[in-house]
Amino acid sequence: MKHTLTAHELTKLLISRDVSSEELTRAVYEHIGKTDKQIGAYITLTKDTAIEQAKEADKRIKEKRGVAPLTGIPIAIKDNMCVKDVLCTCASKMLNDFVPPYNATVINKLRENGLVFLGKTNMDEFAMGSSTETSCFKITRNPWDTNAIPGGSSGGSAAAVASDQAILSIGSDTGGSIRQPASHCGIVGMKPTYGRVSRYGLVAFASSLDQIGPLTKDVWDCAALLEVISGYDPLDSTSLRMDSPDYMSFLNKDIKNIKIGVPKEYFIEGIDKDVELAVKGAIKKLEKLGAIIEEVSLPHTEYAVATYYIIAPAEASANLARYDGVKYGYRAKGEGVDNDLLGMYENTRKEGFGAEVKRRIMLGTHTLSSGYYDAYYLKAQKVRTLIKQDFDKAFKKFDILVTPTSPTPAFKIGEKTDDPLQMYLSDIFTIPTNLAGLPAISLPCGLNKNGLPMGLQLIGDYFDEGKILQVAHAFEQSTDFHRSKAI
């Protein structure tokens, strides 16, 4: 049962050589073989490469050469990050045969630290979705209830960790795509400050919002993985030119007199009663641990979803213009296409993109078009500034803000696919932090009456991931929610 342990539990066993990385990696693959038909977490598995990486990690540990806290730990990668010579599909027909010739910066950092790559995980197509139902390959299912969604767009990465098909995983978060699936799958997921982790080699959805981050079994693992992937990268023009702190040094500290704000706009009509009770119970627990709790107002929160669904599709429209059938990826063929450039463009995009991606490209193109730019896109950017200013004001008084991660537990597969607006509202509590560029974490805070996990979101000021991890770890260590297992 080695694959059921956390990374920090396994690290001790690896260092003492009571377990080898190769043995652990083979155990994880054996478990994937038994469970992934039901879960559907992976698109591509890289077993042969992983076994070689595990052997290399064992050699490093034996020789005590370049051993890092996560050396030898198996990790899953969301399929929108480039790994050299490994298929990178973004769960889209448009890229179903694209093999990158280079590594994303995050991948290089993981390799330098000796982690073992298990494979690429399923996701919503081009990260556009909240349920991992828009993948062109398959639907990923929630390990807690295989009739329910795992969240999205990093649903495969979350489901892999929750079902012990990976010890750790990496996802990306544009409007909640790490935190919302972490909440639905009962694990920890963190979106760092925008620019804290390099986006070089991440296939772009919305460039001013996208951020890579960890999905893990507990807060210790989250801190360790964040430390590995953070840092300045000259290949990413939005990367922060600043040193990353020792995130694990923030763990095992008390939270006495830490000021925590509870935004009243996040406890709205329509929030699931079990979620509301669980989050309010978690707030009481934080108060018992010594935190000072007060209500705070973020008045422009109600405009966040509308603002996001103007800005994100506009950026997607620009970023996805490169998929035209000429340079790489899918290309339409057939009568009337081969000798007609415009026809080839149109048919490639018609056949290569799924319905949700087409919807967002059309929304984005419309808001950027002549006569609509000022009315929609420019106004949305102004509202984005107001949302950011709400947070700036709140963080003058508070160290941390606490909210639900998602307004509901995981919903049933197919429940919201015919109602895009209801699907978009799944991210109502996570979107504001992406618009503002702030760091935030989701961690388990209870199970609802049907036994499905619910998440607590902690939001911090810019570059304050350490304080978030401090509060998250203190809460986690005072509860048993993170010990609950899906399967």
Whether 153 has a pLDDT exceeding 80, the answer reads yes
Catalytic site residue from 2, 20, 78, 244:
78
Q: What is the pLDDT of residue 486?
A: 78
Residue 440 CA from chain centroid, whole number: 11
pTM of the model: 0.97
| Residue 1: per-residue pLDDT | 76
Give the mean pLDDT of 392-403.
98
Is 207 marked active-site? Answer: no
- Chain segment 280-289, per-residue pLDDT in tens: 999 999 999 9
Exactly one of 177, 198, 244, 442 is catalytic; name it.
177
User: How far lies 21's CA from each of 15, 64, 117, 334, in Å?
Assistant: 10, 14, 12, 49
Catalytically annotated residue among 20, 135, 153, 157:
153
pLDDT of residue 487: 66
Active site residue 478: no
pLDDT at 335 over 80: no
Domains in the chain (CATH in brackets) are: 2-257+399-483 (3.90.1300.10)
Q: Is residue 485 over pLDDT 90?
A: no
Calculate mean pLDDT across residues 155-183: 98
How would residue 336 be classed by pLDDT, with cut points 50, 70 and 90? low
Pick from 88-92, 371-375, 403-407: least confident: 371-375
Coil, strand or helix: which one is 51? helix
- Judged against a pLDDT cut of 80, whether residue 29 lies above it is answered with yes
Give the pLDDT confidence of 185-236 residue by residue, as tens digits: 999 999 999 999 999 999 999 999 999 999 999 999 999 999 999 999 999 9
Rounded Cα distance between 100 and 402, Å, is: 39
- Residue 84's pLDDT is what? 98
Give the 3-state secondary structure of residue 5.
coil
Between 244 and 486, residue with greater pLDDT: 244
Neighbours of 444 (CB within 10 A): 27
pLDDT, tens only, 66-121:
999 999 999 999 999 999 999 999 999 999 999 999 999 999 999 999 999 999 99
Give which of 412, 304, 411, 320 is closest to 359, Cα–Cα.
320
Q: What pLDDT does residue 445 have?
A: 98
416-468 residue pLDDT tens: 988 888 898 889 999 999 999 999 999 999 999 999 999 999 999 999 999 99
* Confidence label for 269 from pLDDT (cuts 50, 70 and 90): confident
Q: Could you confirm whether 92 is annotated as catalytic?
A: no
- For residue 319, the model assigns a pLDDT of 96
What confidence category does residue 268 fall into, taking pLDDT thresholds of 50, 70 and 90?
confident
Tokens of 127: 């990260």
pLDDT higher than 80, residue 49: yes
Instruction: Output the pLDDT for position 371.
Output: 86
